[in-house]
Chain A
Amino acid sequence: MSAAGTSKDAMLTAIRRGLRRRPLPEDQAFALRARLAAHPRHVIPARSRLDHAGQVALFAANVEKEFGSVVRVDDLAGVPAAVADYLAAQNLPGQFVIAPHPGLRAIDWSSRPLLRFREGRAEATDAVAIQHGFAGIAETGTLMLPSAPERPTTLNLLAEAAIVVLAADRVVGAYEEAWDLLRAEMGGMPRNVMLVTGPSRSADIEQALELGAHGPRRLHVVLVGG
């Protein structure tokens, strides 16, 4: 610890030598702490400044622009059919791992008895994972997926196909609005917050885009309600 302390002091001293000053005086440090606490917003692109229906439409259009897909259902009762139809259309198995989230536990799957699922985190053998979406960001068609016991991170990453069930009233315009939702509802910062925009891809081979690198090859959003 003493060695680490020495390096820390040496680095801070070197930084201050470069900036030609001592540690900040208290009034300046106070102002910076106030800036951290207030976290002021900067320029926010006008493109997402729409009414809510417009934001939902922009969100869906941007997910599709980024090679994801979107289906809209009226309520949770419509989710099983939407999932079953998607899996069949993509030639995926009728078996998935699903987030142990109360919002998803409310779904009654009995109308689709052929679907098999388990709750929990994803394993490398899972072909399909269903995650609970915290928010959708219209600006770029981005999903906000914060980690929690009921929202494991591996569900976003390991399966061939990632399905996210998102309430349409959780779609906001800009990233900043989603962060404010998270600050209000989760208190502190979760261990992991993923902002996901479309399925995994790589352009490392000859700078040509190929979908399906290490993460999911497909990203499907089930938007619930209007």
Chain B
Amino acid sequence: MQIATSSEFKRNAHDALADVGLQKALARSGTSFIARRAAAVAALPEFEALREEARAIKDHTLAHLDFYLEAYAARVTAAGGTVHWCTDAAEARAVVLAICQEAGARTVTKGKSMISEELGINEHLERHGIVPVETDLGEYILQVRHETPSHIIAPAFHLNREDWEASFRAAHTDLPADRVFHERRDILTEARSRLREKFLAADVGITGANFLVAETGSSVIVTNEGNGDLTQTLPKVHIALASIEKVVPTLEDCMSLLRVLARSATGQDFSVYTTFSTGARRPGDLDGPEAYHVVIVDNGRSGMLGSEFQPMLRCIRCAACMNHCPVYGAVGGHAYGWVYPGPMGSVLTPALIGVDQAGLLPGASTFCGKCESVCPVKIPLPNLMRHWREREFERHLTPVGQRSNLALWAFVAKRPALYRALTRVAAFGLRSLAGRRGRLAHVPLAGGWTAGRDLPAPEGDTFFARYARAQRAGRVA
């Protein structure tokens, strides 16, 4: 399982800002997702109505989650599949390993799956002599580089083309020295041919699931490359990993969510491959797996039900929040220190690994509200981050200096006369310091702020003073 470094967010962010390659990648990719989503949304007049409906479908399902999970599991069993219920990551890892061992698996192909990252499936299989092969192009290069995803739908978001070429040359040692990777297409062709061999040799294929459909007992994956489909079609055994909140009632409910998913994620109207898997190979079928397993995992989610964080379980993992986040755009995904980055990670990570570990993440926000405004299931992300901040404060996890500063501020803010007197002095003082430039390059105790930009000086007066003057002059009521 990935070791969390979320408690080191400040140092991670500092390092990220100084990472030239990362900053190049962030600058290049930052706006492309935003523009593509905006175009897709603009082309669909019903988008806002669909968002509202998507939220309602998820809320309905969560309110009846026990019922829909049982209904789903009954349909899977009726279709000849096997459902494994797992309370935590250790249980899920053991179940996956046991299925692979029973199949006599030597290699396992993997479709891109964030829950697999969360559970630490790859490391567990490797420890037991089974070779996991990531087949999503982005995940594949990260496996070669021994890195983790920095984005939930574009795992190699932090890499540049030269990184890809260098990693391919290092890993594929049989490449002729004159083999060129001038174009992105050359890289894609190389990966395609390498992974073809892996697909054909694998004994088990492991995918995630974007949705589980209770009506039919189907697991649904959404991909553009087709790797997930090869993963679940070619080996003898298919294992689908899914957390409890992935279930939806019907195919119609699923389609409504799919209509907002791709548009919010990549700005496509629909992803290339949206595939519904239901049970194992049927009589007469010429292909498909002989065994079909679904591993349903809680791993901390049931604890969010009934709490102020329940709306987070609506998340369909589109990544729109991180694509639009100024903090993610500045530091990238690895700084968040665990599996899920960006605003959704800042809310989910404290719930899954503890606010003591991840308490800094909800603070890594400008509270601009962009994440909530683009969320296809309308999760109130800034509000939920605020709840975590309150919990962190209540549990005295906030550093002493910050607590005493807040206490001092509260003392002053609760005494209006004192507050006005102090702000008057501060406004006058800053104005005098700024002189005719009207800006301050250095301010005592605010070196962190002025290191990157000047502080515009106050006009020399406070709002209250100006308002009182305007009142006297009869310009405001």
What residues make up the interface of A, taking CB atoms closer than 8 Å to B?
Answer: 4, 7-8, 10-12, 14-20, 23-24, 28-29, 32-33, 35-36, 39-43, 45-47, 62, 66, 120-121, 124, 140, 142, 147-149, 152-154, 156-158, 175-176, 179, 188-208, 210, 212-216
Contacts and interface: CB of A to CB of B under 8 A. Distances in A.
B273 A215 contact: yes
Given A43-B49, A157-B226, A192-B288, A140 B66 contact: no
A124 B49 CA distance: 44
A191 B279 contact: yes
B188 A7 contact: no
B316 interface: no
B252 A142 contact: no
A36 B46 contact: no
B270 interface: yes
Contact of B215 (A39, A154, A156): A39
Contact of A203 (B28, B154, B282): B154
A127 to B, nearest CB: 13
B306 interface: yes
Q: Which 3 A-B pairs have the closest CB atoms?
A: A215-B226, A18-B305, A213-B225
A43 B50 contact: yes
Nearest to B259: A45
B192 A213 contact: yes
B70 A10 contact: no
Chain B: interface residue count, which band? 35 or more
A43 B65 contact: no
Interface string B206-240: 00000000111110000011110110011000000
Contacts of B144: none
A15 B87 contact: no
B225 to A, nearest CB: 4
A156 B85 contact: no
A189 B71 contact: no
A216 B73 CA distance: 33
B184 interface: yes
16 contacts: A7-B91, A15-B66, A15-B302, A28-B64, A29-B67, A32-B64, A46-B46, A124-B196, A154-B287, A157-B226, A192-B288, A194-B229, A203-B224, A204-B137, A205-B137, A207-B28
Interface stretch (B243-251, B324-332, B409-417, B465-473): B243-251
B122 interface: no
Contact of A149 (B63, B214, B286): B286
Interface string B252-291: 1101101100000010111111111111111111111000
B152 to A, nearest CB: 13
Given A4-B85, A11-B298, A43-B46, 13 more contacts: A12-B69, A24-B64, A24-B66, A36-B215, A39-B252, A124-B199, A149-B286, A152-B287, A157-B226, A199-B272, A202-B224, A207-B33, A210-B184
B185 A210 contact: yes
Contacts of B366: none
A121 to B, nearest CB: 4
Interface stretch (B11-19, B155-163, B437-445): B155-163
A138 B157 CA distance: 33
Given A45-B259, A152-B286, A206 B306 contact: no
A46 B44 CA distance: 9
B184 A42 contact: no
Given A154-B287, A192-B277, A18 B302 contact: yes
A191 to B, nearest CB: 5
A35 B249 contact: yes
Contact of B302 (A11, A32, A120, A153): A11
A32 B32 CA distance: 42
Given A32-B67, A156-B229, A206-B161, A11 B85 contact: yes
